[in-house]
Amino acid sequence: MLKLQCATFDQGLVHPVEVESSLTNGLPQLQIVGLASSSIQEAKERVKAALQACGLTLPPKRITINLAPSDIKKSGSHFDLALALAIALPPDISPPSNLFLFGELGLDGTLKETSAIFPLVLALAKEQRIQILAPAQSASKLAAIPNITLYPIAHLQEAIAFFKEGPPQPYPTRSLSYPKVLGKYYYTEDYPLDFAQVRGQKFAIRGALIAAAGWHNILLEGSPGSGKSMIAKRLRYILPPMELAEILEVARLEALEGREPTFAPIRPFRAPHHSATRASIFGGGSHQPQPGEVAYANKGILFFDELPHFSKGVLEALREPLQERRLLVSRVNCKVEYESDFLFVAAQNPCPCGNLLSRSKECRCNEVEIRRYRSKLSEPLKDRIDLFVSMGEPLPDQPPVTSSRKLHAQVHQAFIKQIQRQGTLNGKLDEKGIERYCHLDSEAKSLLDRMAKSFGLSLRRIASLKRVARTIADLAGQEHIGKRELLEAGAYLPKDPE
Which tens digit of pLDDT belongs to each residue from 445-465?
A: 999 999 999 999 999 999 999
CA gap 397, 150 in Å, rounded: 57
Question: Confidence class of residue 434 from pLDDT cuts 50, 70 and 90?
Answer: very high
When the candidates are 3.40.50.300, 3.40.50.150, 3.30.420.40, 3.40.50.2000, the CATH number that belongs to 185-490 is 3.40.50.300
pLDDT per residue as tens digits for the range 263-300? 999 999 999 999 999 999 998 776 667 889 999 999 99
Q: Where are the alpha helices (DSSP H) in 300-366?
A: 312-317, 319-324
pLDDT score of 58:
87
pLDDT for position 135: 96
Q: Stretch 423-431: mean pLDDT, rounded?
A: 96
DSSP H helices, 332-388, are 367-374, 379-382
**Among 55-59, 125-129, 154-158, the range of highest mean pLDDT:** 154-158
Residue 27: CA atoms inside 13 Å, Cβ hemisphere, count?
2
Q: How far is 84 from 45, CA to CA, in rounded Å?
A: 11
Strand partners, 284: 290
User: Domain boundaries in the chain?
Assistant: 2-165, 185-490
Give the integer Cα–Cα distance in Å for 226 and 229. Answer: 9
In this predicted structure, what is the pLDDT of residue 194?
96
The span from the CA of 181 to the CA of 417, in Å, is 11
Q: Beta strand 2-10 with 13-24: parallel, antiparallel or unpaired?
A: antiparallel
Give the list of residues 6+ apart from residue 234 with CB closer than 8 angstroms, or none.
191, 193, 194, 195, 197, 198, 208, 404
**pLDDT for position 332:** 66
Name the DSSP letter for residue 259: P
Fold of the CATH domain 2-165 = Ribosomal Protein S5; domain 2 (3.30.230)
pLDDT, mean over the chain: 92
* Residue 120: how many other CB atoms lie within 10 Å: 26
For the chain, what percent of residues have pLDDT higher than 90?
Answer: 76
- The predicted model scores a pTM of 0.88
Per-residue pLDDT, 11: 72
Check pLDDT > 70 for residue 497. Answer: no
Residue 24 burial class via C-beta count within 10 angstroms: exposed 0-12, middle 13-18, buried 19 and up:
exposed
pLDDT digit string (tens) for 96-132?
Answer: 999 999 999 999 999 999 989 999 998 899 888 999 9
Residue 261: pLDDT band with limits 50, 70, 90: confident
User: Is it true that the peptide bond before 69 is cis, omega within 30 degrees of 0?
Assistant: yes
To the nearest 10°, the Cα dihedral for 160, 164, 169, 175? 70
The pLDDT confidence band at residue 336, using thresholds 50, 70 and 90, is confident
Query: Which of the four pLDDT bands, split at 50, 70 and 90, describes residue 1?
Result: confident
Give the pLDDT band of residue 329 (cuts 50, 70, 90).
confident
Q: For residue 144, name the pLDDT band (cuts at 50, 70, 90).
A: confident
Return the minimum-mean-pLDDT range out of 165-169, 257-261, 420-424.
257-261
Q: How far apart are CA 275 and CA 324, in angstroms?
A: 25
pLDDT at 140 over 90: no
What percent of the chain lies above the pLDDT cut of 70?
98
The whole-number average pLDDT for the span 184-195 is 95
**pLDDT over 60 at 53, yes or no:** yes
Q: What is the CA radius of gyration of the chain?
A: 28
Beta-sheet pairing, 29-33 with 62-68: parallel
> How far apart are alpha carbons 442 and 348 in whole angstroms?
37
State yes or no: pLDDT of 353 exceeds 70: yes
